[in-house]
Amino acid sequence: MSPTILIVGATGNTGQAVVETLPKLLQSSNTLSDHRVIALTRSIKSPVAQKLAKLPGVEVIEQNWVEITSDWLREHQVTRAFIASHNEPNHFAEESTFHLAALNAGVKYVVRISTTAANVRPDCPAYYPRTHWAIEALLSSPEFANLQWTSLQPNIFSGFYLSNAAELIKQYRKTGKQETLKLIASKDAPVGVIDPYEVGVFAARLLSQEEVAVHNKAKYVLNGPEDITGRQIVDMVEQYIGTQVEHVSYQDMSFLDLLYEHNFAATGQSKNVIFSVRHAPETAWEGKCSASTTSKAVLELAAPKITPAEMLKGLLEEGEER
């Protein structure tokens, strides 16, 4: 069996890009050309999983990553791994278990997805960035010295920031009517929104590096090439619909009510914990998530190129395809 690079979350918004980009990079590598790529999925019958299974050098396996053990990693000869975990309250328990298994199995290098750089601190009011801080603290400990790692801190994903704008455009095209445009964005703060696919491309670049020591313990901040404000999002919407947006609600976190009701109310999870997410965009509203914060290594290895206008266009085209 060939040595393996494992992709956890292969069908997700960043993992798919890793799987699609990595095999081509490995082919041209002097030391990694014999490595294969294993892409994990919860459903091997999903359209994305079936698409990835057709790629040369990729094996798609149906496996719940939270059940992966050191024995499983050794059996599949995993030497490097990518992980994009969930952000639910049990995140730390499950991702730290994965990293411990990787350490004990002799995995050499892990690239993981973190969250908004300005939030990854022990006193962040939102719960999940504290979890990412704790994971990075764990990996930085002397006990984990044999596991090299890089944490990617994309500030804000395009779908999360622009989806309501795309939905209003699609609704207006169908009905000629508008609901309130609810934006997480503030009216004036510039934010370097990034397309998640470009985060995956950068992760693939890291995983294909012949020498990863220079990236060990690095925390790289990723943004798109251009800043955008809430007012500029409104301007783009108005260009698409050819009229003025009637009602805008900036800094709108009302979606949390539905999120809690649909995903957590029946699980017994703390409402106090879940609703702390309302504080997550505050650093963006304060102007701390602009494109100027992008790490130098990101610009050198795989500088993001997709602009906010292109992101919105992509969201609209996705809707048309469905």
> What does the pLDDT read at residue 262?
84
Position 97 in a domain: yes
pTM passes above 0.85: yes
Q: Which of 39, 131, 127, 149 is nearest to 94 (CA)?
A: 131
Q: Note whether 216 and 149 are same-domain residues.
A: yes
CA atoms of 225 and 235, how far apart (whole Å): 19
Q: Note whether 117 and 219 are same-domain residues.
A: yes
- Which residues have a Cβ under 8 Å from the Cβ of 153 and sit 6 or more positions away? 114, 115, 116, 117, 120, 219, 220, 221, 222
16 to 13, 82, 85, 143, 146: CA distances (angstroms): 6, 11, 14, 31, 28
Q: pLDDT tens digit string along 209-228?
A: 999 999 999 999 999 999 99
Q: pLDDT tens digit string along 139-168?
A: 999 999 999 999 999 999 999 999 999 999
Q: pLDDT tens digit string along 132-145?
A: 999 999 999 999 99
**Quick one: CA torsion of 14, 20, 23, 27, rounded to 10 degrees?**
-120
Position 321 in a domain: no
Tokens 């670049």: give the residue: 205
> What does the pLDDT read at residue 265?
79
Largest CA distance in the chain: 61
CA atoms of 295 and 155, how far apart (whole Å): 12
Q: Can you give the residue range of the structural domain that contains 242? A: 158-189+226-285
Q: Note whether 143 and 79 are same-domain residues.
A: yes
Q: Note whether 38 and 121 are same-domain residues.
A: yes
Q: Note whether 235 and 262 are same-domain residues.
A: yes
> What does the pLDDT read at residue 145?
98
Q: Note whether 36 and 66 are same-domain residues.
A: yes
Q: Note whether 14 and 42 are same-domain residues.
A: yes
Q: Which letter does DSSP use for residue 176 in this model?
A: S
Position 44 in a domain: yes
Confidence of residue 320 (pLDDT cuts 50, 70, 90): low
Mean pLDDT of the chain: 95
Q: Which of 142, 133, 135, 63 is nearest to 97 (CA)?
A: 135
Return the structure tokens found at 49: 């999983």
Q: Note whether 49 and 70 are same-domain residues.
A: yes
CATH value at residue 11: 3.40.50.720
